[in-house]
Amino acid sequence: MASASLQFFAFILALFGVLGDITATLLPNWKVNADVGSNIITAITQMQGLWMDCTWYSTGMFSCTLKYSVLSLPVYIQAARTTMVLSCILSAFGICITTVGMKCTKLGGDTDSKSHACFAGGVCFILAGTFGLVPTSWYTREIISNFLDQTIPESSKHEPGGAVYTGFVSAGFLLIAGLIFCTSCFKKQQGAWIYPPKQHHFPSTERESNTGYNLKDYV
C-alpha cells in the first residue's frame, strides 16, 4: 500500500514536470532585457525564447517575431530546441507507460509486467529530466557570461527569464519521479532475490527407512 501511494505521488510530480517542460519550451521569456546602467527603457520589455522574440510595451501591446532560420541561431539555442523537444516526448512516453505499470491501476497484466513497465517509465522520466536540465543550465551559463562580459554594452545584456526557472523546476520533478519509480521496482525485485519462495522437500532417507521397516514386518 505504501509503495502504491509513493508511485501515485511520483506520478503527480511527473505530471507537473511534463506540463512545466512543455510550458518552458513554448514560453518566449528564456531571457529578458536587464535593467542596468543608464539606458533603462521602462516602456519596453524585450524577451527572447527558443522559437520567437517578443516585445511587450507598457501600453499593453505585445508583438512577437518567429525565428524561422535555424542555421542563423547560436549553437546553444539549437541544442536547447532539440533537447527540450526530446524531453517533452520522453516525459509524455513516461506518463503513458507508468499509467499502465502503477499498482493503483488495473492495466498492464500481471505483477511482473507492471513492474517492468513502471521501471521503463521511470527511465523515461530520468532521461527527460536530464534532457531538460542540460539546455537550461547551458542557456543560463551563456546569459551569465554575457552579463559579466565588460565588452558587451549594458543595453544588450539580459537576465534569465521565467522559462529558465520553469525548466529547472520541471527537470527536478521529472528526475525525482523517475528515481521513485525505478527504486520502487528495484526494491521489489531485490526482495524476491533475497527471500526466495520456500520449497518443501521430503527427505528420501526417511521414506526408505519406513519402507524397510514395513517389509521386515512381512518376513
CB-based burial, 85-98: b 16+ in 10 Å, e otherwise: ebbbebbebbbebb
Cα distance between residue 119 and residue 104, in whole Å: 15
Would you say residue 218 has pLDDT above 70?
Answer: no
**pLDDT cut 70: percent of the chain above it:** 78
pLDDT tens, residue by residue, 194-214: 444 555 454 554 454 454 545
CATH of residue 108's domain is: 1.20.140.150
User: Residue 132 belongs to what domain range?
Assistant: 4-28+74-194
pLDDT of residue 39: 47
In this structure, the strands spanning 31-33 and 158-160 are antiparallel
- Is 170 contained in some domain? yes
Residue 18 lies in a domain: yes
State how many domains the chain has.
Answer: 1
Grid cell listed for 156: 544588450
Angstrom CA distances, 67 to 11, 23, 43, 73, 138, stand at 35, 18, 24, 8, 20
48 occurs within a structural domain: no
Is 121's pLDDT higher than 70? Answer: yes
Contacts 24+ apart (CB under 8 A), 186-189: 186/119, 187/3, 188/3, 188/115, 189/115
Query: Is residue 155 domain-resident?
Result: yes
pTM: 0.78
Q: What is the mean pLDDT of the segment spanning 139-168?
A: 89
> Quick check: is 213 in a domain?
no
Does residue 50 lie within any of the structural domains? no
Lowest mean pLDDT among 39-43, 74-78, 127-131, 167-171: 39-43
pLDDT at 183: 87
> Residue 126: which of 10, 27, 4 has the closest Cα?
10
In a domain, 60, yes or no: no
Q: Please, which pLDDT band fits residue 86 given cuts at 50, 70 and 90?
A: very high
Is the confidence at residue 94, as pLDDT, over 60? yes
42 or 147: which leads in pLDDT: 147
171 within a domain of the structure (yes/no): yes
As a whole-number percent, the residues of the chain with pLDDT over 90 amount to 43
